[in-house]
Structure 1
Amino acid sequence: MKFHKDMLLLYAVTDRKWTGRQTLYEQIEDALKGGATMIQLREKDLPESRLVAEAEKIKELCHSYHVPLIINDNVKAALLSGADGVHVGKEDMAVSDIRKIVPEDFIIGATAKTTEQAKKAEQGGADYLGVGAVFPSPTKQDAIRITRDQLKEICSAVSVPAVAIGGITRQNIEELAGGKMAGAAVVSGIFSAQDIQKETALLKKKIQEVLNL
């Protein structure tokens, strides 16, 4: 699936901790029904064979909504499952090395907390950046925080689009107005909601307002 920056508007990142009455698959479908524009499957603890099998099913679901599926960290699983791309942090495989071994239209996202990291990822061939954490994050409590001005500085330093990430909810997204991001990557703000479809739709509308779309 060819990447374009509109895919970053509302980037839903999974976290299995909120499954219970729903499966992760059902939660993702609700997010897609609500208007999520990209899905990242983040599974730190699944064996690779299970991750690949799950990603194959979720990819088909995402594609039925014309939405790309990105795999967190694991390039091999992304390629084996036929996912649309991978998102990596600075501790993972370098973007430039990934670009050498993947198909031309394979989407690569990279985390950037500084302008230097952002420029390096862009030069290596990243399609987009994830910039944060912009708020305290319940999923990454030790994440380094950045201010709105730092977000704006990083987004302005590169030509590839970026999403803000880290503790973003419908209630605080307005604080990022003017941050120059293309959208928001959201974990608990979507998947911890009682009604995921409704919350996703409301959050998407709020993001569009903040970005003046």
Structure 2
Amino acid sequence: MKTLTLANRDLFWPPADELIEVAERIRARLGDWPRARVDWRICLAAPDTARSGDIVVVIGAQADAGDARAWRTAGASLIVADIGGAALTTAGGERYALEGKLPEDWLAALAAFLDCGFEPPDALVLALAWRDGDETTGDDAWPVDLARFPLVAGLPAAPAQPFPLCAPRLGLYPVLPSAQWVERVLALGVATVQLRVKDAPPDRLRAEIGQAVAAGRRHGASVFINDYWREAAEAGAYGVHLGQEDLETADLAAIAQSGMRLGLSTHGYFEMLRALHFRPSYLAFGAVFPTGTKTLATAPQGLARLERYVRLLGEQVPLVAIGGIDLPRLPAVLATGVGSVAVVSAVTGAADPARAVADLQRVFDI
């Protein structure tokens, strides 16, 4: 395999030829990825002038608070690492702390994963999942052994009662804007749906959730409720779906005690590790493609990332792919091995929703 050239780029400061050589060997075994959107520079010593895209690395001790503030003001991020793991603080103040073994080549691996287009929190997860010499084991040395991945530090305890399991492959999973849509789609034979109601007053919200849950019972289907876990529990819903931001506010113990299933959204490796800590019933991964149904906090993930996500977690927890997936794209999505695909406009935006559902279901049955 041709070795990718990193040596002519300002990848490390000060320049570090040995690290560049190792980073090139690692990068050459990670596959073909689009270039990073940012020209990251890993600073092994304090830069004279920090800049946006710098990641200043401090080993074994906290950085001087004044220096750290100055670096962040200039747009740089900071990694503080020691024998027990590493913590990244971005220029915006977001902190991502990981516990795990630091391989000898972790800085070279970090550079390689950044070059693959991963944002620093996810590249740091992958760098800590790396093991020295992995680049010699084959053409694709991507970390896919969950036992080797770090843990997210500082999380609250997971609920004592695990969330109930759901089917390992949920199949077609329409996300629908109203109880009327839930009724309509369940009547077409779909087994799993999600009700995602936006900006409804409390009385209407409870009515919509109650109607959707009742429809699920009549059809013997699984109805998940997006966000509104209290109302979902009151109605006896099969499950609830939450975003990463909801993990800060939702009472996960109460959700577990209610018997509801829990689905969690993830957008990369760090969020995946954070979600796994709480032992959810399934993980949703996206957005796979660009989508107009909601504002994206991260760039579209693409099929290559989804395929590696499936290889890592396919036997651990059910996975749902979401984001910009329609009938033409569905075969390629399923080819990654993912067991469920959530769709929105592919059903609700179709001229003939019944035909759209039938066509989508047919791809799953092939």
Q: What's 1:187 paired with?
A: 344
In structure 2, what residue type is equivalent to 1:129? L
Query: Residue 168 and residue 101 in structure 1: after superposition, are their counterparts in 2 closer, same or farther (change >3 A)?
Result: closer
Q: Which residue of 1 aligns with 2:173?
A: 11
Residues 56-205 of structure 1 aligned to structure 2 (within 5 Å): 56-94=210-248, 97-103=251-257, 105-144=259-298, 145-158=300-313, 159-205=316-362
Alignment match, 1:21: none
Alignment of 1:39-50 (within 5 A): 39-50=193-204
User: SS where residue 3 of structure 1 aligns?
Assistant: coil
- Counterpart in 1 of 2:32? none
> 2:347 and 2:275 mapped to 1: Cα distance?
27
Distance of 2:276 and 2:250 partners within structure 1: 9
- Which structure is higher in helix share? 1
SS at match of 2:183: helix
Task: Supply the distance in 1 between the matched residues of 2:249 and 2:303 (Cα, whole angstroms).
Answer: 25
User: Which of 160, 174, 182 is the equivalent residue of 1:28?
Assistant: 182
Provide the C-alpha distance between the structure 1 equivalents of 2:312 and 2:254, rounded to a whole number of angstroms.
24
- Contact 2:323-2:343 within 8 A present in 1 as well: yes
Q: Which whole-Å CA distance do the structure 2 matches of 1:69 and 1:33 have between them?
A: 13
Tell me, yes or no, if the aligned pair for 1:96 and 1:124 is still in contact at 8 Å: no
2 CA distance for matches of 1:76 and 1:165? 24
Q: Is the 8 A contact 1:72 1:87 kept in 2?
A: yes
User: For the residues of structure 2 that align with 1:132 and 1:101, how far apart are their CA atoms?
Assistant: 24
Supply the distance in 2 between the matched residues of 1:30 and 1:100 (Cα, whole angstroms): 31
Q: 1:69 to 1:41 in 2, by over 3 A?
A: same
Q: Distance in 2 between matches of 1:95 and 1:199?
A: 37
Letter in 2 for 1:150: R
- Equivalent residues of 1:115, 1:153 under 8 A apart: no
What RMSD, in angstroms, separates the aligned Cα atoms of the two structures? Answer: 2.2
How many angstroms does 1:35 deviate by? Answer: 2.8
Q: Relative contact order (C-alpha < 8 Å, sep 6+): which is higher?
A: 1
Number of equivalences: 200
Q: CA deviation at 1:70?
A: 0.8
Question: Equivalents in 2 of 1:93, 1:201: separation in Å?
Answer: 35
Determine if contact 2:243/2:265 at 8 Å carries over to the other structure: yes
More displaced stretch, 63-72 vs 41-50: 41-50
User: C-alpha separation between the residues in 2 aligned to 1:100 and 1:153?
Assistant: 33
Q: Deviation string for 1:105-132 (max 9, x for gaps)?
A: 3110001111232232122021101111
Q: Offset at 1:42?
A: 0.5
Q: Which stretch of structure 1 is more off in the superposition, 200-209 or 125-134?
A: 200-209
- Aligned residue for 2:257, secondary structure, equals coil
Equivalent residues of 2:166, 2:282 under 8 A apart: no
Distance 2:258 2:337 in 1: 27
In structure 2, C-alpha distance between the alignment counterparts of 1:96 and 1:115, rounded to whole Å:
22
Specify whether residues 121 and 97 from structure 1 end up closer, same or farther in structure 2 by C-alpha distance, changes over 3 A only.
Answer: farther
Task: Indicate the SS of the match to 1:204.
Answer: helix
Once the two structures are superposed, residues 167-200 of structure 1 have per-residue CA deviations (whole angstroms, 9 ceiling, x without a partner) of 1111211222432211100110011112222211
Kindly indicate whether the alpha-carbon contact (under 8 Å) linking 1:73 and 1:86 is maintained by their aligned counterparts in 2: yes
SS at match of 1:60: helix
The 1:104/1:28 distance shift into structure 2, 3 A limit, reads: closer
CA distance in 1, matches of 2:248, 2:208: 25
Q: Pick closer, same or farther for the CA change 1:3–1:191 going to 2, 3 Å.
A: same
Give, in angstroms, the shift of residue 5 of structure 1.
2.4
Q: Counterpart of 1:112 in structure 2: which amino acid?
A: T
Runs (5+) with no aligned partner, structure 2:
1-163
Q: Does the 8 A contact of 1:35 with 1:201 survive in 2?
A: no
The SS at the match of 1:87 is strand
